[in-house]
């Protein structure tokens, strides 16, 4: 009995190994294929099927590919190219993936910042990757600001979405949030957060 149990376990392991080899061998044959190109293929194949779903928004494969192209155009217009680092401080949501893919599509490298860090710890992470730009979600603008006195690098800072007003104390019957407006990032000007080009 124990022998058959062990044999079944070994067969399951070997099937898993075979599956990994089959899925990863195309990578060696196509080393220049990047993730955004795979998303383009999936968009052509699956079109309007859901790719990313959250309680805030939903993106189909086609929308994800189009939105990542939009962010790639934005990144190229800002001079992001091969080897340039763009830091991303945003909670997990479909827009996060679209921005990430867009920057990769433009040739940049994305440094994904931990949203639980603040002050000197966040400043250390930012300085370690020396980004050319930082894209920060509006609801995390205060988190990024907490690292200002400690940062040695001076990247351009872009705000994505709106900074929320001070929140009232939590209540058990909060309404469900409306979907956020999906806008291109904003730049932090000399006088605080403003539209790109101000300051």
Max distance between CA atoms of the chain, in angstroms, equals: 75
CB 123 within 8 A of CB 153: no
Higher pLDDT pick, 112 / 171: 112
169: pLDDT confidence band, cut at 50, 70 and 90? Answer: very low
Rounded distance between C-alpha atoms, residue 50 and residue 40, angstroms: 14
Quote the pLDDT of residue 32. 73
CB 189 within 8 A of CB 199: yes
Quote the pLDDT of residue 76. 92
Quote the pLDDT of residue 2. 76
pLDDT tens digits along 96-147: 899 999 999 999 999 999 999 999 999 999 999 999 999 998 889 889 999 9
* 159, β-bridge pairs: 136, 186
pLDDT tens digits along 9-57: 777 777 877 776 666 666 667 767 777 888 888 889 999 999 888 888 8
Question: Could you tell me the domains of the chain?
Answer: 32-164+180-193 (3.40.50.980)
Distances (CA, A) of 40 to 14, 134, 186: 32, 26, 27
pLDDT higher than threshold 60 for residue 186: no
Distances (CA, A) of 141 to 7, 95, 130, 187: 55, 17, 19, 12
Q: What six digits make up the tokens of 71? A: 């962010």
Quote the pLDDT of residue 184. 46
The arrangement of strands across the sheet holding 85-89 comes to 109-112, 85-89, 133-137, 156-160, 186-189, 192-193
191: pLDDT confidence band, cut at 50, 70 and 90? Answer: very low
Rounded distance between C-alpha atoms, residue 124 and residue 185, angstroms: 23
Quote the pLDDT of residue 28. 64
Question: Parallel, antiparallel, or unpaired for β 186-189 and 192-193?
Answer: antiparallel
* 3-class secondary-structure state, position 12: helix
Mean pLDDT of 164-192: 42
89: pLDDT confidence band, cut at 50, 70 and 90? Answer: very high
pLDDT higher than threshold 70 for residue 171: no
Q: What six digits make up the tokens of 59? A: 């993106």
pLDDT tens digits along 175-184: 333 333 334 4
Quote the pLDDT of residue 195. 39
Quote the pLDDT of residue 20. 66
Rounded distance between C-alpha atoms, residue 15 and residue 7, angstroms: 12
Rounded distance between C-alpha atoms, residue 199 and residue 194, angstroms: 8
Predicted TM-score (pTM) of the model is 0.70
């Amino acid at each position: 009995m124990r022998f058959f149990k062990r044999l079944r376990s070994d067969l399951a392991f070997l099937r898993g190994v075979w599956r990994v080899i089959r899925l990863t061998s195309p990578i060696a044959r196509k080393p220049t294929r990047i993730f955004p190109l795979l998303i383009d293929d999936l968009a052509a194949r699956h079109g309007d099927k859901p790719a990313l779903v959250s309680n805030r928004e939903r993106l189909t494969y086609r929308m994800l590919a189009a939105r990542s192209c939009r962010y790639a155009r934005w990144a190229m217009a800002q001079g992001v190219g091969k080897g340039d680092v763009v830091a991303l401080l945003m909670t997990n949501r479909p827009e996060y993936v679209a921005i990430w893919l867009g920057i990769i599509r433009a040739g940049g490298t994305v440094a994904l910042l931990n949203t639980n860090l603040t002050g000197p710890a966040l400043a250390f992470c930012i300085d370690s990757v020396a980004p050319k730009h930082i894209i920060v979600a509006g609801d995390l603008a205060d988190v990024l600001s907490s690292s200002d006195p400690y940062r040695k690098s001076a990247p351009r800072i872009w705000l994505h979405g709106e900074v929320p007003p001070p929140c009232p104390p939590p209540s058990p019957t909060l309404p469900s949030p409306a979907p956020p407006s999906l806008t291109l990032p904003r730049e932090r000007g000399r006088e605080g957060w403003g539209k790109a080009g101000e300051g």
